[in-house]
Amino acid sequence: MDPKISIITPSFNSEKYIAEAIRSVLQQTYSNWEMIVVDDCSSDSSVKIVEEFANQDRRIVLLQNKENLGAGPTRNKAIEFSTGQIIAFLDSDDIWLRDKLEKHVNFMLREDAAFSHTSYGFINETGKVINKTFHVSDFPIEYKDLLKRTEISCLTAMYDVNKVGKMYMPDLRVKQDYALWLSILKKGFVSMPLDEELAFYRQRKNSNTNKKYKLVWKHIKFLYQTQNLGFFKTIYYTFWWAYNGVFKYYISKITG
């Protein structure tokens, strides 16, 4: 029997995009899934939109926080509630291609993978596809690899609970997902890359990840405070992280 997939989706004031995210799950060619949407005290119509979908398909479950907790604890609530063998993540403004789960699950089973991620594309705020793709590496990603390059994106990551156990995101306001991936890899697992564009990340003008030059100092603080690397290793890995992400981003802007 195909393993059950638990899709983890936090939602906060997501009325503009969440219907599109849910539809991308409903259109999956792989059917054995549950989608757990946890609303983090939205003040818009997000809850009503999710309720309408949940009333039509019992695989969609809506949970609501009593107070605003942030993305990490909100995802953790969904992980705790989940019943699937494989945990997948889809934020409320991102979307999957219709064969994402089928191809990704089959890949994980074929590779006997505990943890995996895929390549992905980009869309803008209106849903228009941006002509670029983030390609994953052609080798299994270990802990030190991820320190040098933020390769695993939340909308493509999946881990097998039977192999890894249920693992949760730390209570951080930023980089909670990155911290979780590092924790999994630190246990000795690797993340198997599937170089196929199976999802689309929505780039929004005011998002934190869009202000790349401001992220370097925050990354230094994150590594130093959470990974116990010491000062020199923190600077070393931040240099490579910045080179592979921030510097290459601006070089691509200059060269077109």
pLDDT category of residue 173 using cuts at 50, 70 and 90? confident
pLDDT category of residue 251 using cuts at 50, 70 and 90? very low
Q: What percent of the chain has pLDDT over 90?
A: 82
pLDDT category of residue 255 using cuts at 50, 70 and 90? very low
pLDDT category of residue 206 using cuts at 50, 70 and 90? low
At 113 the pLDDT is 98
pLDDT category of residue 212 using cuts at 50, 70 and 90? low
Tokens for 52, please give them.
């309408």
Pairing of strands 158-160, 5-11: unpaired
At 182 the pLDDT is 98
Tokens for 116, please give them.
């995996």
What does the pLDDT look like over 96-153, one tens digit per residue?
Answer: 999 999 999 999 999 999 999 999 999 999 999 987 899 999 999 999 999 999 999 9
Residue 67, class by beta-carbon neighbours within 10 Å (0-12 exposed, 13-18 middle, 19+ buried)? exposed
Please determine, for residue 249, whether its predicted confidence score (pLDDT) is greater than 70.
Answer: no
5-206 sits in which CATH class?
Answer: alpha beta
At 140 the pLDDT is 98
* Amino acid letter, residue 47: V
At 103 the pLDDT is 98
Which residue in 237, 122, 111, 249 sits closest to 182, CA to CA? 237
What does the pLDDT look like over 9-29, one tens digit per residue?
Answer: 999 999 999 999 999 999 999
Higher pLDDT, 61 or 219: 61
User: Where exactly are the structural domains of the chain?
Assistant: 5-206, 211-256
What are the strands, taking DSSP E only, across 4-69? 5-11, 33-39, 60-64
At 1 the pLDDT is 78
Q: Could you tell me the pTM of the whole model? A: 0.92
How far lies 27's CA from each of 30, 119, 216, in Å? Answer: 9, 20, 38
At 207 the pLDDT is 54
At 254 the pLDDT is 42
- The average pLDDT across 223-245 equals 90
| CB proximity list for 176: less than 8 A, separation 6 or greater | 70, 71, 72, 75, 169, 170
